[in-house]
Amino acid sequence: MVENIQTFDGVYGGQTSLAERNKVLRNTYWLLALSLVPTVLGAWMGVATGLAQSLSGGIGLVVFLAGAFGFIYAIEKTKNSAAGVPVLLAFTFFMGLMLSRMIAMVLGFKNGSELIMTAFGGTAGVFFVMASLASVIKRDLSGMGKWLFVGVIALLIGSVINAFVGSSAGMMAISVAAIGIFSAYMLYDIKRIVDGGETNYISATLALYLDILNVFQGLLALLGIFGGEKD
């Protein structure tokens, strides 16, 4: 039996078969699920040891930015080799470790565990909606990329400023903006895979992992600000 393979000759350039696109999407989802394991382990270790809590303010920001950009550079360099997956998983462990400071703060609330589960459920819901939209939207979304990138740069600048100012209002504004920007980025990144614009599942996983992590952080921050119950 001969399989009818459809092809996409898109705005991203090149031609990718439907089977290849589905394979990239499937591998991305599997690796994305796997990446959550070291993230949870990193967060647990950070909370248990208090390591991330000691990295606060400017020092913590420098460690986070240096580590994150260093790992992202390494992932892009190794994405076509056998080292790509281990480097990505090491990165997700590091991000879990960095996330542990916020996790520990939320766990300080009486309902901290419920807030974390709510944020996780909300993030999963956003991902499901964006993945569903990416599968049905026929319109080319490649033009979103440059606007979303500008939004991320503005968000990064705002986060750096607020790290030194420590404003609750600033934290709320940054969290809301992060949820909106990275939810849109989820749609954009999944649509790129669906349309054949991203053919490397490690790069695709990295992009979606960062989207998910930022939405989760934004939701957790808002829930902690508005729903945290003190003892």
12-30 in b/e burial notation, b at 16+ Cβ within 10 A? eeeebeeeebeebbebbbe
pLDDT digits (tens, 9 = 90+) for 10-60: 444 444 678 888 899 999 999 999 999 999 999 999 998 877 667 666 677
pLDDT at 201: 93
Measured from the Cβ of residue 112, the count of other Cβ atoms closer than 10 Å reads 19
Strands (E), 10-57: 15-17
Terminal C-alpha separation, the chain: 66
User: Tens digit of pLDDT for each residue in 70-80?
Assistant: 999 999 999 99
State the pLDDT at residue 21: 85
Q: Which residues contact 145 (CB under 8 A, 6 or more apart)?
A: 188
C-alpha separations of 83 from 61, 80, 192 in Å: 27, 8, 24
Q: What is the pLDDT of residues 164-204, one digit of tens each?
A: 787 778 889 999 999 999 999 999 999 999 988 889 999 99
pLDDT interval class at 5 (50, 70, 90): very low
pLDDT the model gives residue 9:
38
Mean pLDDT of 143-164: 87
pLDDT at 129 over 90: yes
Q: Which residues pair with 15 in a beta bridge?
A: 9
Helices then strands, each counted (H, E), the chain: 7, 2
- pLDDT beyond 70 at 7: no
Question: Minimal CA–CA distance to 103: which of 113, 89, 92, 88?
Answer: 113
Residue 204 CA neighbour count, 13 Å, CB half: 28
Residues 21, 162: Cα–Cα separation, whole Å: 40
Residue-level pLDDT at 139: 85
H helix intervals, 137-200: 144-165, 168-195
Q: Structure pTM?
A: 0.86
pLDDT band at residue 6 under the 50/70/90 scheme = very low
The model's confidence at residue 163, banded by pLDDT at 50, 70 and 90, is confident
* Look-up of token digits 């290849």: 20
* Per-residue pLDDT band at 112 (split at 50, 70, 90): confident
* Mean pLDDT confidence for 102-108: 89
* C-alpha distance from residue 135 to each of 71, 160, 178, 191, 207 (Å): 30, 35, 23, 7, 18
The yes-or-no verdict on residue 3 having pLDDT over 60 is no
Structure tokens at 36: 């959550």
The pLDDT of residue 179 is: 95
